[in-house]
Amino acid sequence: MAKGIRDKVAILGMGCAKFGERWDKDEDQLMVEAYQEALADAGIEPSQIDAAWLGAAFDAQNIGPSGIPLAMALRLPDIGVTKVENYCASGTESFRGAVYAVASGACDIALAMGAEKLKDTGYGGLPVRTRGTTHDMVGITGSAPGNFAQLASAYRGVHGVGKDDLKRAMAHVSVKSHANGAKNPKAHLQKAVTMEQVLNAPMIAEPLGLFDCCGVSDGAACAIVTTPEIARSLGKTDIVTVKALQLATSNGWEMQGSGWNGSYFHTTRVAATKAYDEAGITDPRSQLSLIEVHDCFSVTELVTMEDLHISKEGQGWRDILDGFFDADGELPCQIDGGLKCFGHPIGASGLRMIYENYLQILGRAGERQRQDSPVFALSHNLGGMPNQNVSSIAIIGRADA
Amino acid sequence: MSDFGILAFGAYVPITRLQRGAIHATNKWFASGLGGLAKGEKAVANWDEDSVTMAVEAARDVLDGIDRTRVERVVIASTTLPFADRQNAGIVKEALNLPDAVGAMDVTGSQRAATSALLAALGGTETTLLAAAEIATPKPASEREMTSGDAAAALLVGRGTPIATLVARHSVTVDFVDHFREAGAAHDYDWEARWVRDEGFARILVPAVATLLGKAGVTGDAIDRFIVPVAVKGVPEMLAKQAGIAPDAIADTLAPVLGHSGAAHPLVMLSAALETAKPGERILLASFGQGCDLMLFEVTAAIGSVKPRLGVSGWLARRVESTNYAKYLFHRGLLQLDRGMRAEHDSKTALTALWRNRKAVLGLVGGRCTKTGTVQFPKSEISVGGNDHAVGTQEDYPLAEVPATVLTWTADALTYSPDPPSYYGNIDFVGGGRMMAEFVDFAGSALDAGAQLRMMFRIKAFDENRGFRRYFWKAAPAF
């Protein structure tokens, strides 16, 4: 394996807009909201930014093509700006561009922005999207919940888990995220819910009910990255570095081969293994302090606990019901409310997760701050659908860890 | 004995049987006179079926166990063809994955379309696959709505070992307009039933039947089965009596269990008759529409040597009752429901890409790696991971007739479907190959991991902006 980028890049500043139904703002305004916080945190001038990346998924409906929308919104100094799209991993993908630019030495300071204005599409849930002329002729025009819901039927079959047990574990995921989101002033949904509410909610896609599905939100999140040396020269003392960045993209094996059983994300397993190697983590269950995973749906979070090699295969649902991933559990997952309640503006989500991990490591997470000084924090995105997807993992941590 | 004739037969009847009582229950405030017809049920096609998809299923029924390369010509007969200018028979040919070197023809414009096409096939030299299909959209609260039904039938006609040969034929052509439908119009316009009976069936069919019997050199009592595809009660009996045909020779019109399937109905009834025909039986087939076509067949000793996959009786046994008249109206475009924003998705088809991928899209042809034997869908230049990543090694591998099982599934209430919830999931073909498929004809509870499947040719999406319909294969419960 390549040497990797562990500790080569530091996060200089981060910012995040309030997520939600931002009827009052355009996407450029949301980006500025996140940018101003990040810029102030970084303590630099805009003229010091060497390059920028913009992650956005649903360009046709709102932001438009190319890097121009970001360059114009932030009035960047005529630098190179690249727009990236990789489904729900688009935010982490923009981070990857900025981090790799710094790690390579091509840039001293780079900016990553992720943004999405879903509430201007008019849809409840994600808009219907083409996947290209050829795919549209043979593929399914299903919905995101419909695609992810299929994990449940396969998981039950593979692991012999009863329908009610799985539904309760899924419900626990949602109850937990709602409880966490209630403590987060930037979250879209800030109201706790009960197990009964979740279990009795209307069905969206069997077996996912309304509360098993994440919010569809407007939002933006931003990171400014540099080298640890430059960060120190700029006066930073408490430094958070990037420990690993890994991305795995389906090559069609899951859908066209025959080895996959439908109950897990092959790409997450691949990306996680590589990310732990890059970060030097040998036992993620004990070494990770916090995780933010792509909980687009409750069942996704459940299987992801296994794909990240934190729970044993077929046992993730038990860990969830045991409270292992609760805010006061051994390894909090979605301490900020997650996609479920912080919200899911597609292009912003990856950076929103890193933002929360960054705040927690620096002890700046307010009421929801974990008191045991987090060291390593992982964030994970999934784009696409279980049988064909992209999976990204970013691990950040204290520079001295 | 001639070696040219009907070689095999099949049919297709959609699974849904709309109860006529449910139609009447809604409409009786307005059309109480239809109460007399409010008995039994009619077969109604699903939203994703049309004359082409039904013809494909009937053709698959007839070709079960038959070498498809024998087919030299594909003919489809219907007055409800989906395309006015795109060869409908060509779509059927692609769906059946027949070689390109076959002839094809659409026959339409009359209730006699199927019998005229059959006469042409019997008078030719090529082995013809003839499929007739009809999907009617009568005006709500009309008599025709009560009596019609959707169905298809298919025959393989040609050289070989016929199960029935043509003994005599007779056609009459007169512009007797008992009903009509302008090109592009949704509904038929019907004239008074008694006039049609007395001036049409009686004055045109009665002498024509006599002429046919004369041509054949037989009398009415020589007829073992008399097929009169007419929805009006008493007409077959009247014709039989006039011709001296025994009352018990009159074939079941299938009216109570299926309805009258328009131009397809003569072939549907013939297919049903052939299921139970015995060697030596004489079958008189009639059709009516601006005149008539009449054919006298003799069943050969080969009857029983070929069987359709299901046949009319098998398809009729595969049924789900429905009393949801509103759903039927919606599926026929007769009731406007708020379909929501997801129905606005633009389903434009790139005709270039459709042409390039026609085998995969219309024929469900995947790939099989000649190096490893691994099957995949769709075919690709570099074989799928786990298959050696071999380059350029894949050969065509048809999957449409391969059984499959459910790997994953869901019932999606969010995505737009004219028949929610939308059932779909990953399926595995027996012997390899996997795809994400939509499920059709499932009563929800039967769907689970491991459930056995059979592929069916259906409409995938309508491009309402451009008037194009996209076809693909969906997975139905095995049968």
Q: What is the pLDDT of residues B346-355, one digit of tens each?
A: 889 999 999 9
Is the Cβ pair B412, A256 closer than 8 Å? no
Judge whether B373 is closer than 8 Å to chain A, CB to CB: no
**Looking at residue B1, what is its pLDDT?**
65
Structure tokens that stand for A313 in this block: 């295969």
Say if residue B428 is in the same domain as residue B294: no
Query: Of how many residues is chain B composed?
Result: 479
Is the Cβ pair A255, B435 closer than 8 Å? yes
Q: Which residues of B touch A151 (CB under 8 A)?
A: 408
CA distance B455 to B24: 35
**Which one of A137, A249, A254, A296 would you mutate to disrupt binding with B, by most B Cβ within 10 Å of its Cβ?**
A137
Asked if the A9-120+218-234 domain carries CATH number 3.60.15.10, the reply is no
Q: Which residues of A touch B412 (CB under 8 A)?
A: 142-143, 145-146, 149, 204-206
Is A344 assigned a catalytic role? yes
**Looking at residue B265, what is its pLDDT?**
98
CA distance B40 to B260: 13
Domain CATH for B434? 2.40.50
Say if residue B28 is in the same domain as residue B121: yes
* Full DSSP string of B239-283: HHHHHT--GGGBPP--TTTT-B-GGGHHHHHHHHHHHH--TT-EE
Contact B188, B181 (CB under 8 A): yes
**Alpha helix (H) ranges present in B40-185?**
51-63, 88-95, 113-122, 143-147
CA distance B10 to B385: 41
Structure tokens that stand for A311 in this block: 């729970």
How many Cβ contacts (< 8 angstroms) between chains A and B? 138
Is B13's pLDDT higher than 80? yes
Q: Is B431 a domain residue?
A: yes
Phi, psi of B477 (to 5 degrees): -60, 140
Q: Which string of b and e fits B98-121 if b means at least 16 CB within 10 Å?
A: beeebebbbbbebbbbbbbbbbbb
- Interhelix angle A144-159/A298-307, rounded to 10 degrees, is 50
Is B181's pLDDT higher than 90? yes
Q: Comparing A9-120+218-234 with A142-215+240-398, is the CATH topology the same?
A: yes
**Looking at residue A258, what is its pLDDT?**
82
Fold of A142-215+240-398: Peroxisomal Thiolase; Chain A, domain 1 (3.40.47)
**Looking at residue A297, what is its pLDDT?**
97
**Looking at residue A12, what is its pLDDT?**
98
Say if residue B223 is in the same domain as residue B89: yes
Say if residue B45 is in the same domain as residue B72: yes
Say if residue B169 is in the same domain as residue B59: yes
CA distance A384 to A88: 7
- Give the dihedral sign, CA A36/A42/A44/A46: negative
Q: Which string of b and e fits B14-46 if b means at least 16 CB within 10 Å?
A: bbbbbbbebbbeebeeebeebeebbebbbbbbb
Q: Is B388 a domain residue?
A: no
Amino acid occupying residue A288 = L
Residues whose CB is less than 8 angstroms from the CB of residue B233 and which lie 6 or more positions away in sequence, other chains included: none
Say if residue B291 is in the same domain as residue B207: yes
Say if residue B306 is in the same domain as residue B358: no
Q: Determine which helix (DSSP H) or strand (DSSP E) holds A226, and give its type and residue range.
A: strand A218-226
**Looking at residue A129, what is its pLDDT?**
86
Domain CATH for B169? 3.40.47.10
**Which one of B361, B436, B457, B462 would you mutate to disrupt binding with A, by most A Cβ within 10 Å of its Cβ?**
B436
Say if residue B415 is in the same domain as residue B288: no
Say if residue B314 is in the same domain as residue B352: no
Could you report the per-residue pLDDT of B385-413, keeping only the tens digit for each?
776 889 999 999 999 999 999 999 999 99
Phi, psi of B358 (to 5 degrees): -60, -35
Q: Name the DSSP letter for residue B112.
A: T
Mean pLDDT of chain B: 96
Q: Name the DSSP letter for residue B357.
A: T
Q: Name the DSSP letter for residue B83.
A: -
Could you report the per-residue pLDDT of B233-261, keeping only the tens digit for each?
899 999 999 999 999 999 999 999 999 99
HEC secondary structure over A16-43: ECCCECCCCCCHHHHHHHHHHHHHHHHC
CA distance B332 to B49: 11
**Looking at residue B444, what is its pLDDT?**
61
Could you report the per-residue pLDDT of B280-293, keeping only the tens digit for each?
999 999 999 999 99
- Interhelix angle B206-216/B235-243, rounded to 10 degrees, is 40
As for how many domains chain B has, the answer is 2
Say if residue B325 is in the same domain as residue B346: no
**Looking at residue B385, what is its pLDDT?**
73
Residues linked to residue A241 through DSSP beta bridges, in sequence order: A10, A397
Q: Which among B428, B290, B206 is positioned nearest to A262, based on CA atoms?
A: B428
Which range of residues forms the domain containing residue B408? 341-364+399-477
Question: Averaged over B438-444, what is the pLDDT?
Answer: 86
Mind telling me how many Å the CA of A160 is from chain B's nearest CA? Answer: 12
Q: Is B414 a domain residue?
A: yes
**Looking at residue A1, what is its pLDDT?**
66
Say if residue B279 is in the same domain as residue B347: no
Say if residue B327 is in the same domain as residue B236: yes
Q: Name the DSSP letter for residue A46.
A: G
pLDDT of chain A, 401 residues: tens digit per residue: 688 999 999 999 999 999 999 999 999 999 999 999 999 999 999 999 999 999 999 876 678 899 999 999 999 999 999 999 999 999 999 999 999 999 999 999 999 999 999 999 888 888 888 889 999 999 998 999 999 999 999 999 999 999 999 999 999 999 999 999 999 999 999 999 999 999 999 999 999 999 999 989 999 999 999 999 999 999 999 999 999 999 999 999 999 988 999 999 999 999 999 999 999 999 999 999 999 999 999 999 999 999 999 999 999 999 999 999 999 999 999 999 999 999 999 999 999 999 999 999 999 999 999 999 999 999 999 999 999 999 999 999 999 99
Q: What are the boundaries of each domain within chain A?
A: 9-120+218-234, 142-215+240-398
**Looking at residue A60, what is its pLDDT?**
60
Is the Cβ pair B436, A130 closer than 8 Å? no
Nearest to B386 among A122, A127, A253 (CB): A253
Amino acid occupying residue A357 = N
